[in-house]
């Protein structure tokens, strides 16, 4: 099973939220309401670039009450393989894209007594949706949002307007940092923490949580990997009888798709496990970048997550 249901959408609005973040409103080409979803969900957006199809996951910020639009936020990144640059440079009002049904790999734990939301930079997009859902259900929460400077807080004003003093803002340029030990201090039992942001920030917040004695079950994070580029290598798909090259600027999964083979995937971010594929032979070293397989599975060399991982070497043979 691969991506599943695809929904053709059209861009109905583009906002330049900050110097580096654009927000896009998407409406269904059919005019039908877009599906409901739970906070923390993302969709995979397919962009038709002239030479290839680019697929990137983006968290859903919100859905218009009548279902007419979704909003996503896209940061222009320097190391982009083309997706964010394409969204920033080529996508305008009227552009047609395709999205998957919403998938939630970062859900609110409904048994939680209180919820602490922590966002850094563009990581605010799923956090924005979670705050909105918690507000709607009248559940206790607080939100901590770190940004480079006042001008780069893409959602700061909207968040403060909606949630008032539940929101605490931190600016890097004013040396304001999220003091995780202070936040976690004296939270009620059954509190859950959710963090989305740059890799280093997530690691620091989670480490702080563990140091404060919090159980792993109460600490949640969403990471989407961006750095899947690397050296080129060749991949042979044993069942399909196809051999193809994986270019430096594309993922293994994208190369498989380009070769016309329908391989399984869901999150395209190394988190969900759907694209787990058996490795038959590897002439080189497997570079695992996923968060799904265990260390032992990585070491075994028998499995690979095609969406983010690749080979440093000559040829990889997969059971596809």
Partner 1 sequence: MTIQFKKETFRDDFTFSNSPEAIRRFPFPFDKDQYMYAVNIEQHMPGPEKSPYEFPIDIDEHYVAEMEDRALVLKQDPLRCQSLPHMITAEWDLVELLMESMAKNYPEHFQLTRDGDRWHWVNQPLGIDQRFTFGDTATLPCPPMEYITRQCQGDFNLLDQRHDNLWMDAGIVTTQADWSLDFDIGMNFMEWHAPVPIAHDLGVFDRALKFLLNLQQGRPVRRLNWTMTINPRLDTSPENYHKWGIDRTTVTPENVGNKVHLRVELQALWRLPRSNAIVFSIRAYLIKMEELVTIPKWARRFHRVLRDLPPELADYKGLTRYRETTVDWLSKYDDGAPTSPGFFPD
Contacting positions for partner 1 (CB under 8 A):
1, 4-5, 35-38, 40-41, 100-104, 107, 109-111, 137, 217, 266, 272-274
Nearer to partner 1, 39 or 282 (CB): 39
Question: Of 37 and 242, which CB lies nearer to partner 1 in the complex structure?
Answer: 37
CB nearer to partner 1: pick between 111 and 175: 111
How far are the Cα atoms of 3, 53, 96 from residue 258, in angstroms, in the given order? 15, 8, 20
Tokens read off for 98: 């395709």
297's enclosing H/E stretch is: helix 295-300
CB of 116 to partner 1, least distance (A): 16
CA-nearest of 250, 259, 226, 269 to 310 is 250
Shortest separation between residue 271's beta carbon and partner 1, angstroms: 10
The least CB distance from residue 139 to partner 1, in Å, is 10
Q: Which residue has the tokens 């990137």?
A: 56
Angle formed at CA 279 by CA 316 and CA 227, multiple of 5 degrees: 65
Nearer to partner 1, 92 or 217 (CB): 217
Q: At what angle do helices 156-163 and 124-136 cross, to 10 degrees?
A: 10
Q: How far is the CB of 144 from partner 1 (least distance, A)?
A: 22
Instruction: Kindly state the smallest distance separating residue 270's Cβ from partner 1, in Å.
Output: 14
Q: Which is nearer to partner 1, 47 or 272 (CB)?
A: 272
Of the pair 135, 227, the CB lying nearest partner 1 is at 135
Is 44 or 47 the residue whose CB approaches partner 1 more closely? Answer: 44
Q: How far is the CB of 111 from partner 1 (least distance, A)?
A: 5
| Structural Rg of the chain based on CA atoms | 20
In angstroms, give the least distance from the CB of 202 to partner 1: 18
State the nearest-atom distance from the C-beta of 28 to partner 1, in Å. Answer: 13
Specify the residue, 20 or 274, whose C-beta has the smaller distance to partner 1: 274
Residues 266 and 43: their CA atoms lie apart, in Å, by 9
The label of the residue with tokens 């330049």 reads 16
Phi, psi of 173 (to 5 degrees): -70, -15
């Amino acid at each position: 099973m691969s991506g599943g249901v695809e929904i053709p959408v059209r861009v109905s609005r583009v906002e330049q939220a900050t110097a580096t973040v654009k927000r896009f409103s998407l409406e269904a080409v059919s005019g039908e309401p877009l599906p409901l979803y739970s906070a923390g969900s993302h969709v995979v957006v397919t962009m038709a670039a002239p030479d290839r199809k680019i697929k990137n996951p983006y968290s859903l910020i919100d859905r218009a009450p009548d279902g007419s639009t979704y909003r996503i936020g896209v940061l222009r990144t320097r190391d982009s393989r083309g997706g964010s640059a394409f969204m920033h440079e080529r996508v305008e009002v009227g552009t047609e894209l395709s999205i998957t049904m919403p998938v939630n790999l970062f859900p609110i734990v409904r048994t939680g007594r209180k919820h602490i939301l922590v966002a850094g930079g563009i990581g605010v997009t799923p956090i924005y949706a979670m705050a909105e859902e918690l507000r709607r259900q009248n559940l206790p929460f607080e939100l901590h949002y770190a940004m480079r400077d006042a001008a780069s807080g893409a959602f700061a004003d909207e968040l403060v307007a909606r949630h008032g003093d539940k929101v605490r803002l931190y600016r890097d340029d004013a040396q304001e940092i999220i003091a995780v030990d202070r936040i976690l201090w004296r939270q009620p039992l059954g509190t859950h923490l959710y963090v989305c942001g740059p890799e280093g920030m997530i690691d620091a917040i989670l480490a702080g949580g563990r140091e404060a004695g919090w159980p792993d079950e109460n600490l949640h994070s969403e990471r989407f990997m961006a750095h899947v580029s690397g050296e080129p290598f060749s991949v042979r798909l044993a069942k399909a009888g196809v051999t193809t090259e994986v270019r430096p600027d594309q993922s293994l999964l994208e190369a498989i798709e380009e070769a016309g083979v329908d391989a399984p995937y869901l999150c395209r971010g190394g988190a969900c496990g759907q694209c787990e594929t058996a490795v038959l032979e590897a002439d080189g070293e497997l570079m695992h970048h996923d968060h799904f397989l265990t260390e032992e599975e990585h070491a075994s060399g028998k499995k690979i997550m095609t969406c983010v991982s690749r080979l440093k070497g000559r040829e990889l043979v997969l059971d596809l």
